[in-house]
């Protein structure tokens, strides 16, 4: 039997000119966007009327016209996700943004490459971009750039981690829809990385439209009659421990949402439960609720045929519809001690519309 030789790839030493360049660039390029934990107190969020920009695109004779200048448009999977090359998001006019909102609603996820100009325009531009799609959510516990609380930051490096709470679990996969505990959770959501590890740190997405379609019609009919409590209490408690900055700027809330919601623009129905924030099904005994939710969580976890994985590269901007698409960060780079620094722009949508007409959402 022939022995197998083990080969270790070791980086070559830096040249003297590279060493000088490295020392001159020690200052982090996006230092102004590092997490800041203000000790502000925010009042409860108030209800508002949300009109999705995608409605306006429905009347356009070619609602995909915003993609005309792209050099490549490919579907990531049959069920979820489209990747676009060489389309400058900063140049979209109002019609293009309306069409973008409709396209994201229909495909659940869009990945735009080569968007460094979008990323480098900074926080004032991020707010202008996000406000086109709805009222911007201000997170009650997360870090944000100083003076820009509407920008939610995801941050982990060798010394700090402010967003991940799986110390006693065997996996970093935590499927969720962002802040689903709010009365009006997010709709179209924009996210990008300012800094990323050399490998790892991908993001998983799954289609909650498709996970619902996989279930039997009688079971779906039953699920449509159900509503569930979504809670921000545990996230607030996590922050109080200091692992997320130690601040809670708005009293945590719980709200009741339909287990199956209807998208206001496309009319598609989607499963709307997630392990991070859904706590119980209203009106069921504890064991009944726990068993149904466990089954649904397992279904979401294991449906790899309904999922898409985004591998980040510099200049990538991702948009998804938080109403119909769940996601999870993959924290597989911990030993590298590299920085992963992301920014999320999070417009709120409407209060979730039940797929079952007439379902009362009061607890």
| Tens digits of residue pLDDT in 34-55 | 999 988 999 999 999 999 999 9
149 inside domain: yes
Q: Convert the pLDDT of each residue in 110-138 to its tens digit.
A: 999 999 999 999 999 999 999 999 999 99
State the total domains in the chain.
Answer: 1
How many CB atoms neighbour CB 118 within 10 A? 20
69 inside domain: yes
| Angle (CA) 42 48 50, round 5° | 125
DSSP symbols for 302-354: H-GGGEEEEPP-TT-EEEEETTTEEEEE----GGGT--EEEEEE-BB-PPPEE
172 inside domain: yes
Which residue has 């659940």 as its token pair? 108
- Note the pLDDT of residue 243: 63
Q: Convert the pLDDT of each residue in 273-307 to its tens digit.
A: 999 999 999 999 999 999 999 999 999 999 999 99
- Note the pLDDT of residue 240: 82
- Note the pLDDT of residue 306: 97
User: Could you tell me which residues come within 8 angstroms of residue 347 by beta carbon, excluding any fewer than 6 positions away?
Assistant: 130, 131, 133, 134, 135, 136, 137, 186, 187, 188, 189
15 inside domain: no
- Note the pLDDT of residue 25: 53
- Note the pLDDT of residue 2: 43
10 inside domain: no
108 inside domain: yes
- Note the pLDDT of residue 167: 60
- Note the pLDDT of residue 24: 44
Residue 190: which CATH number?
A: 3.60.130.10
- Cα(76)–Cα(193) distance, rounded to whole angstroms? 20
Query: With a threshold of 0.85, does the pTM exceed it?
Result: yes
The residues of the chain scoring below 50 in pLDDT are: 1-24
- Cα(316)–Cα(113) distance, rounded to whole angstroms? 5
**Which neighbouring-strand residues pair with 229?**
256, 280
How many CB atoms neighbour CB 336 within 10 A? 14
- Cα(138)–Cα(152) distance, rounded to whole angstroms? 8
198 inside domain: yes
Q: Which domain holds residue 245?
A: 53-354
32 inside domain: no
- Note the pLDDT of residue 335: 76
């Amino acid at each position: 039997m022939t022995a197998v030789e083990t080969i270790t790839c070791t980086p070559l030493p830096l040249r003297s000119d590279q060493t000088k360049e490295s020392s001159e660039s020690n200052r982090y390029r996006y230092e102004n966007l590092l997490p800041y934990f203000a000790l502000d107190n925010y009042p409860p969020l108030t209800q508002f009327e949300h009109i999705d920009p995608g409605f306006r695109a429905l009347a356009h004779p070619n609602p995909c016209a915003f993609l005309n200048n792209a050099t490549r448009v490919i579907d990531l999977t049959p069920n979820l996700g489209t990747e676009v090359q060489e389309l400058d998001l900063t140049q979209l006019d109002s019609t293009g943004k309306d069409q973008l909102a409709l396209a994201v609603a229909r495909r659940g996820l869009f990945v735009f490459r080569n968007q460094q100009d979008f990323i480098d325009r900074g926080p004032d531009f991020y707010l202008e971009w996000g406000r086109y799609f709805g009222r911007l959510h201000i997170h009650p516990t997360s870090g944000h750039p100083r003076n820009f609380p509407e920008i939610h930051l995801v941050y982990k490096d060798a010394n700090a981690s402010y967003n991940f709470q799986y110390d006693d679990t065997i996996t970093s996969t935590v499927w969720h829809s962002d802040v689903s505990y709010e009365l009006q959770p997010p709709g179209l959501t924009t996210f990008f990385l300012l800094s990323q590890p050399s490998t790892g740190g991908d993001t998983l997405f799954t289609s909650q439209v498709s996970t619902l379609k996989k279930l039997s019609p009688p079971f779906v009919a039953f699920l449509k009659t159900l509503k569930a409590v979504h809670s921000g209490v545990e996230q607030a408690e996590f922050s109080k421990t200091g692992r997320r900055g130690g601040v809670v700027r708005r009293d945590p809330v719980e709200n009741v949402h339909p287990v199956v919601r209807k998208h206001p623009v496309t009319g598609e129905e989607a499963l709307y439960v997630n392990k991070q924030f859904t706590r119980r099904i209203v009106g069921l005994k504890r064991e009944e609720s726990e068993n149904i939710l466990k089954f649904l969580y397992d279904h979401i976890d294991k449906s790899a045929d309904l999922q898409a994985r985004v591998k980040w590269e510099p200049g990538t901007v991702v948009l998804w519809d938080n109403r119909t698409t769940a996601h999870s960060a993959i924290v597989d780079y911990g030993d590298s001690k590299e920085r992963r620094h992301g920014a999320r722009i999070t417009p709120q949508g409407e209060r979730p519309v039940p797929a079952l007409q007439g379902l009362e959402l009061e607890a």
